[in-house]
Amino acid sequence: MSIVDQTRQDDILVLSINNPPVNAFSPGVPEGLKAGLDAAAADDSIRAVVIIGSGRTFVAGADIKTFNMPREQAPDLRGTVEKLDGFAKPTVAAIHGTALGGGLELALACTYRVATPDAQLGLPEVKLGVLPGAGGTQRLPRVVGAARGLEMMLSGNPVRAAEARALGLVDELIEGSDLLAGAVAFARAHADARPLPRISERSVEGGPEVFAAAREGIKKTHRGQLSPSLIIDLAEMAATRPFQEGWEAEAVKFMQAKDSPQSRGLRHIFFAERESAKIPGLGKDTPTTEIRSAGIIGAGTMGGGIAMNFLNAGIPVTIVETAQEALDRGLGVIRKNYENTARKGRMTLEDVEKRMGLLTPSLNMEDLADADIIIEAVFENMDVKKEIFTKLDAIAKPGAILATNTSTLDVNEIASVTGRPEDVIGLHFFSPANVMKLLEIVRADKTSDRVLATSMALARKIKKVGVVVGVCDGFVGNRMIHRYGDEARRIVEEGASPQDVDASMNALGLPMGPFQMSDMAGLDIGYAIRQHQAKVRGNPKPDGWLDRIVELGRKGQKTGAGIYDYDEARKPRPNAEIAQLIETYRAEKGVTPREITQEESTKRLAYSLVNEGAKILEEGIAQRAGDIDVIYIYGYGFPAYRGGPMQYASEQGLQNVVADLEKYGQTPAPLLRRLAEEGKTFADYDREKAQQASA
């Protein structure tokens, strides 16, 4: 089998693309397609051409791995599209699976498109920080209109075949199992159509108001991003300029977007997310256990949110509390959440009842005896957790997974009270647990491969991004966030206002700065940790400016006031008394406040994450720098277009990061220093480690 096979079906030439797993447009594909078209042109007995993908899908896009290649070596997608558009005989794209990005662009350059009913078609380039670069910005609006075309290109979300048919993107749906036969019959029926209908010759429906609305819209949906505005400019050209002009402008803007740090960041995350699912030493054939039922201990905010994930996936849950009142409250919150979703039209009332019907409340832990997995989600107290796991050890059936949702405690210590530490694992969900996509999967010393592999599979099933981490205080995400919080407080101590510090992270693209985030999470949590740590270490009682705020009873959003004041809409407003409290604090400590630029604040905060991240990597708590980035994007709102904190640091140049850390009085982690000295990035580190592991 070659990368593009040519087979004749009488008067039709079929070109099948064989480039597993997703038939991306890799080197060899354009050459194969062009050769096929040449063969069809040269043979008078061929009346039409069908292009089809072999295996599980049509072409899922340009090969993202080739984006770093020099332009002249990169696969010639645009040349192939041009050749198709100018081809003298009818061409039919036969689509199954997904026609995405360059795949859909290829199809749009064909004369006709047919698809299986389960196919999906879309231009997801924006998710990679680029734009459709092979005619998509010019052809899609010509087919579906400017408004719908922009919606598809700016969201990046695909449409299903039936909708594509209604939009005119697809000419015919091929029912039944034989797409190829259907496509060949379609090609034969349209073999004599002349003149050939070409999308490039159509005009675009939609006036200037569509583009104005789109420009307004992206201020909210894509703040700070480059490629969405380029997409709108190009769609406007499609509507107002000749095809050729838009086509040429698209090539220039595609390169501009592709070479931006934003696109590098998003591409990094695309691959990092897929890498994070791979665990060195854990083979694909590692046995897993099917999770058919779950038990959850604790019906509070976390327990309820966790339960919803299972209910959404159709897995029955038994949820256990110690008091009827707490159980009723927990169930009430779950129901209310679902009913709110139904009110917004994203679920029917029948769906609500179906989910609630899968939920069994209980006051008795023994009701968990049959559960395939039991997740403990009670408050952070080692003694309480140990007591629960001791009981679980007696109750749970053999082989059941015993998981703790602790966010900081030692999973090894928790496992040690059971007679089956190999079945114990940490599953750290992020609040709100029914919304946040991250799941830190904490592998304890004795966790078995089966339990680990099952947990990874479970993460996929409940639509989470699971990342494996090791045991340490705070694991990866929270351990880093503690250093970030320390640095944020220091910056205020030195002279900045909390709102300036928050603004410096908003400027980087985080929806919330450190203080907005701690007000949301509750200031009493950090306060308790600081007090506890001081006591354990024999230090004096902490008396930072933030501690003083908490001691005023201002615990954050939940008390209506914290570092900020909050109105009904939970909008933060700076408070003059807090500003005064901070000033008094500085005066007492003999600090003369100095002006701190936004740039300094951004760097210090971002690099405090990076520096701790480097230590975490070196200790093997995270397997890859890319895993840390995935954790920060899915768990902490770090903007994906920055690629996560580690990728962001690499973009700044690790030598510069080291120099800045030193300038601001922090000691760079040894790994960070070494990579900087060697002129490397964190991606280089991941690559080298992967090579060593496979050697």
Which parts of this chain interact with ligand 3HC (CB under 6 A)?
A: 21-22, 24, 60-65, 77, 98, 100-102, 105, 124-125, 128, 130, 132-134, 136, 271, 274
Other C-beta atoms lying within 10 Å of the C-beta of residue 213: 12
Min. distance of Cβ 55 from ligand 3HC in angstroms? 11
Contact 612, 629 (CB under 8 A): no
**DSSP letter (8 states) at residue 417:** T
For ligand 3HC, the closer of residues 57 and 293 by Cβ is: 57
Please say whether the beta carbons of 424 and 403 come within 8 A.
Answer: yes
Q: Please give the helix or strand (H or E) that residue 159 lies within, else none.
A: strand 159-160
Nearest approach in angstroms of CB 449 to ligand 3HC is 20
Region of 637 on the Ramachandran plot (φ > 0 left; ψ -120 to 50 alpha; else beta): left
Residue 109 CB, shortest distance to ligand 3HC, in Å, is 12
What is the rounded distance in angstroms from the CA atom of residue 19 to the CA atom of residue 497? Answer: 55
Beta carbon of residue 498, minimum distance to ligand 3HC (angstroms, whole number): 39
Closest to ligand 3HC by CB, 62 vs 294, is 62
d(Cα 132, Cα 253) in Å, to the nearest integer? 10
**Residue with Cβ nearer ligand 3HC (64 or 501):** 64
Q: How far is the CB of 467 from ligand 3HC (least distance, A)?
A: 15
| Residues designated as active site | 105, 125
Backbone angles phi, psi at 194, to 5 degrees: -145, 140
CB 562 within 8 A of CB 549: yes
**In the complex, what is the shortest distance from the CB of residue 487 to ligand 3HC, in angstroms, rounded to a whole number?**
35
Question: Residue 395, SS3?
Answer: helix
Distance CA(62)–CA(124), nearest Å, equals 11
Minimum Å gap between C-beta 600 and ligand 3HC is: 37
> How near is the Cβ of 156 to ligand 3HC at its closest, in Å?
8
274 versus 589: smaller Cβ distance to ligand 3HC:
274
Q: Which is nearer to ligand 3HC, 124 or 513 (CB)?
A: 124
Q: Any residues with CB less than 8 A from the CB of 274 and at least 6 apart, and which?
A: none
* 1 touches 23 (CB < 8 A): no
Evaluate whether 115 touches 164 at the Cβ level (below 8 Å). Answer: yes
Nearest Cα to Cα of residue 509 among 417, 386, 609, 641 = 641
Exposed e or buried b per residue across 596-610, where buried means at least 16 C-beta atoms within 10 angstroms of its C-beta: bebebbbbbbbbbbb
The DSSP 8-state label assigned to residue 320 in this structure reads E
- Among residues 76 and 440, whose Cβ is nearest to ligand 3HC? 76
**Among 77, 73, 83, which Cα is nearest to 29's?**
77
Tell me the C-alpha distance between 423 and 376, whole Å. 14
Question: Looking at beta carbons only, is 401 or 625 nearer to ligand 3HC?
Answer: 625
CB of 187 or CB of 230, closer to ligand 3HC: 230
Cross-strand partners of 572: 566
Count of alpha carbons within 13 Å of 593, Cβ hemisphere only?
A: 18
Residue 209: CB partners within 8 Å, gap ≥ 6?
A: none
